[in-house]
Copies of this chain bind each other. A is one copy, B any other.
């Protein structure tokens, strides 16, 4: 049974196109509408038969929707909300998939009118690929989706939670502020560091790019996967969540400086203590089903 009758997905990238596929496969929605400002993305949506109706004009389609999900980069959320909310029916629900909640919510709330309820959401799922072709129906299966509504017990929040559960996700409720510091730690700063390190390696005069590519199996290549993610989205994430990101980065630099000092002063015990502690958390992540226990992600035949 459909959780929402008609769903409008704005933005046909990895996440938007995966929601369309998953909603179709699970029948979480009866009618799927999609909008994207790019005509070539709309063409791809049509070619891939992802939606019942497609348009470059989101506001036109918003007239018919029970649920509108903003699947655009964080920096475009507010302007898209400004464009579509006036067309939304009384009783309709607005949601999003943004990786940042605090600033984005404040920016979107300026454009709400009385008849529309906003239930912010963030599915913790993705790959290093972008665009409508990169999506797939099982992207959200067994992944967490964090909701940060004003009232987690409201009927609308429950309905959006059910929608994501139908797509296969586990649901967590959280305040926007807590979301932003937790995700800065588990996602935003790891991405910033990966982007930085890959840039550092490419710029090292003492090492050729050919050598970096050839000998990347020693650890570097895992960073390049993360640093291949959508640049526009990540630019927006860092700018929108700057306070939490800078807080975590500063802690990271402090800790890195302490390890640097231990290396410089030949303090093997301090290094060993640190490296033993970090092994533990890996076991917990594998036990919690958040990663594969296969050696080297199963890249190796064993």
Contacts and interface: CB of A to CB of B under 8 A. Distances in A.
A151 interface: no
A4 interface: no
Contacts of A197: 189-190, 193, 252
Interface size range on A against B: 35 or more
A226 B219 contact: yes
A1 interface: no
Contacts of A107: none
A276 interface: yes
Contacts of A192: 256, 259
A194 interface: yes
Interface in A222-238: 222-228, 231-232, 234-236, 238
A291 B234 contact: no
Given A196-B252, A249-B256, A282 B224 contact: yes
A127 B232 contact: no
Number of copies: 2
A206 B181 contact: yes
Interface in A125-182: 125-129, 134, 136, 138-139, 141, 143-144, 146, 172, 181-182
Interface in A200-239: 200-204, 206-207, 209, 211-228, 231-232, 234-236, 238-239
B199 A274 contact: yes
A12 to B, nearest CB: 17
A261 B122 CA distance: 27
A215 B186 contact: yes
B291 A255 contact: no
A116 interface: no
| Centre residue among A181, A213, A266 by max chain B CB count within 10 A | A213
Interface stretch (A29-37, A79-87, A294-302): A294-302
A110 interface: no
A268 B218 contact: no
| Centre residue among A129, A197, A219, A235 by max chain B CB count within 10 A | A219
Interface in A255-302: 255-257, 259-260, 263-264, 266, 268, 271-272, 274-279, 281-285, 288, 290-292, 295-302
Interface of A: 75, 99, 124-129, 134, 136, 138-139, 141, 143-144, 146, 172, 181-183, 185-204, 206-207, 209, 211-228, 231-232, 234-236, 238-239, 242, 245-246, 248-249, 251-253, 255-257, 259-260, 263-264, 266, 268, 271-272, 274-279, 281-285, 288, 290-292, 295-302
The 10 A-B residue pairs with the shortest CB-CB distance in the complex, in nearest-first order: A187-B218, A127-B295, A231-B275, A190-B219, A228-B282, A297-B297, A198-B278, A136-B302, A186-B220, A227-B278
Given A185-B212, A190-B222, 18 more contacts: A99-B218, A127-B295, A138-B301, A139-B300, A181-B206, A185-B200, A186-B207, A186-B215, A189-B197, A193-B256, A199-B277, A213-B288, A216-B291, A231-B275, A234-B275, A238-B263, A246-B264, A297-B299
